[in-house]
Chain A
C-alpha cells in the first residue's frame, strides 16, 4: 500500500516536472536568461531533467541522436529571398554556434547579426532535413521496398498461393479493403482504396518505427497529422456529391426555424472532422511516447533523488511497466492507423453516399464522436 502511494507521488511529481520543463523552456525563449530556471538550468548543471529529456525525444531536431552522444548531423536547408538557397550540415550549429549568420536557439534556427543578437526581422524558409524528415524518407523507402516486393509476389505467384512477405501483408490489405473501405464507402470504394491503403500503412509503419529506441516521433508530430488530415479533407470535399452538400446547407427533415443553428453546426462539423483526425493521432502517439519516456525517466529521477542504489532498485519495476506499456503502444500503433483510415473512409463514404436512408443518417456523426 505504501509502495503504491509512493509510486503515485512519484508519477505525479514526474508529470509536474515535465510541465516545469516545458515552462522553463518557454520562459527561456521569451528571453529571461538571467533568472535561474528549474528545468533548463539544472540540466545545464549536469542534473537530469525528465521534462527536457521527454521533449527532446518527442520533438523534431536537426541531428538524429540515436543514443546519447551518437548523433548523425543532418543537412540544414534554408531559403531566403536575399541569400538564396543555403545548405550546410547541422553540426555547424551544434552547441549554439553561429554559422553563416544562423544560430540554433532552442531547436529553432534564427538569423543573427554581427553582434550575435537574434534578428527577428529576417525572413527565411527552413526546409532542413530534420530528424522527422529523415525518418519520413526512411519510412517511404521501407514502404516502397515492401510493397513493390508484395506487388512482385503477385506477378510471380500468379494463379498460385501467396508466399513470403506477400502472404504476411495480404490479410492486412484485405482487411483495409473488406472491413474499412467496402462497408464505409460503398460500391465506389475502389477509387479511394489506394489512398486508404497508403494512409493506413504510412501511419502504421511510422507508428511502429516511432516505438524503436532512438527513432523519430513522426506520427506524433502535429505537422504530419495535419498534412494527412488536410489531404483527407480535400478528398472528402472534392468528392462530395449533391446529397453531401445538401445535407450541410439544407439538412433534410430539419424545421426551417432550426436551420440558422443547424447549418453553422454542420459547417463547423466539416472542419471539425479533419481537425479531430489530426489531433487524435498526434495526441495518442505523443502521449504514448511521453508515458514510456516518463517511466524510463523515473530511473534517472531516482538517481537524482536517492543515488545509484535507489535507481537500481526501482529499475525492475519500471522496466516491467515500460515493457507492458510498449506492448500497449504496439496495439495503439495498429489501432490508430485503423481508426484514422476507418474515419477517413467514413467521411469519404458520407460524401459519396447516393441515397440517404434514415438508417445511414448518423454514420458521419458517429464517426466524429468516436474519439
Chain B
C-alpha cells in the first residue's frame, strides 16, 4: 500500500461503491431534486409572466377607462349643448308665437271694437233719428196747432239737421 501505487482492493470497492452511489442517488435523489427545482423555476417564471401580463392588461384597461371617460365627457358636453340649444330655440319660438298671438288678439280686439263702435254709432244714429222723429212728432203735434209755428219748426229742424 504505497502512496503512489493504486491498490486493487480499494480500486474494486471504489468502483462498486461509487457507481452504486451514482445509480442510487441518480434515481432517488438527483432526479427528484432537479425535477422539483425545474418545476419550481417554471412556477416562478409563469407567476412572473402572469404578473407582467396582468400589469399590461391593467395599463390597457386604465387607458381604456381614460378614453371612455373622455368620450363620456365629450358626449355629455354635446348633449348639454344640444339641450341648451333646443331649450333656447323653444323659448324663442314660444316667445315669437306668443307675440304673434298677442298681436293677432289685439288686432281682433281692435277690429271688433271698431265694429262695435260702428254698430253703436249706427245704433245711436238710428236712436237719434227715432228720437228726433218722436220729438219732432211731439213738437209737431204741439206746434202744429198753428201754422206759423209749424213752419218755424220745420225750418229750425232743417237748419239743425246737419249738425250731426
Contact = CB atoms under 8 A, between A and B. Distances in A.
Interface string B13-30: 111011111101110111
A158 B13 CA distance: 37
A125 B7 CA distance: 10
A319 B78 CA distance: 94
Interface in A307-328: none
A151 B18 contact: no
B22 A226 contact: no
Contact of A125 (B9, B17, B22): B9
A345 to B, nearest CB: 15
A203 B98 CA distance: 110
A194 B9 contact: no
Given A127-B13, A133-B13, A194-B30, A226 B6 contact: yes
A203 to B, nearest CB: 11
A202 B19 CA distance: 11
Contacts of A128: 9
**On chain B, which size bracket covers the interface?**
35 or more
B158 interface: no
A193 B3 contact: no
Nearest to A197: B30
A144 B37 contact: no
B163 interface: no
A174 B34 CA distance: 9
A151 B32 contact: yes
B31 A127 contact: no
26 contacts: A77-B9, A126-B7, A128-B9, A130-B9, A132-B10, A136-B10, A144-B24, A144-B25, A147-B25, A147-B28, A147-B29, A151-B32, A154-B36, A155-B32, A159-B40, A170-B37, A173-B34, A194-B30, A197-B25, A198-B26, A202-B18, A221-B7, A223-B6, A223-B10, A223-B11, A224-B14
Q: Which 10 A-B pairs have the closest CB atoms?
A: A147-B29, A154-B36, A194-B26, A194-B30, A223-B6, A223-B10, A227-B14, A107-B1, A133-B13, A151-B29
Given A197-B25, A198-B22, A224-B10, 15 more contacts: A108-B1, A125-B9, A130-B9, A136-B13, A147-B30, A150-B29, A151-B28, A154-B36, A155-B32, A159-B40, A194-B25, A198-B18, A227-B11, A227-B15, A231-B18
